[in-house]
């Protein structure tokens, strides 16, 4: 499987904000809101164009016999409308790499219209072909073990089971050392198994 993560646009946005901050100091310039919106608009177009080009190339040449997935990232690649637009622009078959942590942030910060994880998944115009699992507080991508944050995993698993999701789950685990990762991995596995076992397809 080949997957594409458009989230790197957030790094670009932070660099622009830092540059503006250097110019105006700690005070907020009067046009800050307009700059913020313009950057989001530019990022949305840029990320969509770059994603289309990369996926088209992969489908056509680099990864003909592999599944292609696009990760739900930042502006331009998080809403159902975004993926519907990409679906019309990309030639060939592809699906969504669902990053649960990103989706939770998008829902809680109003970047998408969905109010629950279940609504978010049900309204996607492309199939989910891979899932990255972690938990967070709805504001920061913390990569916590499932059950440690505010993600409704019952809603998530229920929606995936309704779609007969056949794929795997990839844990995203926070930690700046192998020891920290080894400590959190068993917790993540245990909690995901609990959620999977307690939710029945409906």
pLDDT in tens, 110-146: 999 999 999 999 999 999 999 999 999 999 999 999 9
10 has pLDDT over 90: no
Q: What is the mean pLDDT of residues 99-116?
A: 94
Q: How far apart are CA 40 and CA 13, in angstroms?
A: 8
The CA-atom distances, in angstroms, between 91 and each of 3, 39, 68, 81, 172 are: 16, 28, 12, 17, 30
Burial (0-12, 13-18, 19+ Cβ within 10 Å), 61: exposed
148 has pLDDT over 80: yes
Angle, in degrees to the nearest 10, between helices 9-24 and 32-57: 150
Q: What is the mean pLDDT of residues 82-105?
A: 87
Q: Where are the domains of the chain?
A: 2-198
Domain 2-198, CATH among 3.40.50.510, 1.10.10.10, 3.30.460.10, 3.20.20.150: 3.20.20.150
Q: What is the mean pLDDT of residues 77-82?
A: 87
Residue carrying structure tokens 């789950």: 169
Mean pLDDT score of the chain: 77
pLDDT of the residue at 67:
74
Q: Quick check: 96 and 69 in contact, CB under 8 A?
A: yes
pLDDT of the residue at 167:
75
pLDDT of the residue at 16:
45
> Residue 86: which pLDDT band, with cuts at 50, 70 and 90?
confident
Residue with the larger pLDDT of the pair 161 and 55: 161
Q: Quick check: 4 and 66 in contact, CB under 8 A?
A: no
User: In this structure, what are the phi and psi dihedrals at residue 46, rounded to the nearest 5 degrees?
Assistant: -60, -45
């Amino acid at each position: 499987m080949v997957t594409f993560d458009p989230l790197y646009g957030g790094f670009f946005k932070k660099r622009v904000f830092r540059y503006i901050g250097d110019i105006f100091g700690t005070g907020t310039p009067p046009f800050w809101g307009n700059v913020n919106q313009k950057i989001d608009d530019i990022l949305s177009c840029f990320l969509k164009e770059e994603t289309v080009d990369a996926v088209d190339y992969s489908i056509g040449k680099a990864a003909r016999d592999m599944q292609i997935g696009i990760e739900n990232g930042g502006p331009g690649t998080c809403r159902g409308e975004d993926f519907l637009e990409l679906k019309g622009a990309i030639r060939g078959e592809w699906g969504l790499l669902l990053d649960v942590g990103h989706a939770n942030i998008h829902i809680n910060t109003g970047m998408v219209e969905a109010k629950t994880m279940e609504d978010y998944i049900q309204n996607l115009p492309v199939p989910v072909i891979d899932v990255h699992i972690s938990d967070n507080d709805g504001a920061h991508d913390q990569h916590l073990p499932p059950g440690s944050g505010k993600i409704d995993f019952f809603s998530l698993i229920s929606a995936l089971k309704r779609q007969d999701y056949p794929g795997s789950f990839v844990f995203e685990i926070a930690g700046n050392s192998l020891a920290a990762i080894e400590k959190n991995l068993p917790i993540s596995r245990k909690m995901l198994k609990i959620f999977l076992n307690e939710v029945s397809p409906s």
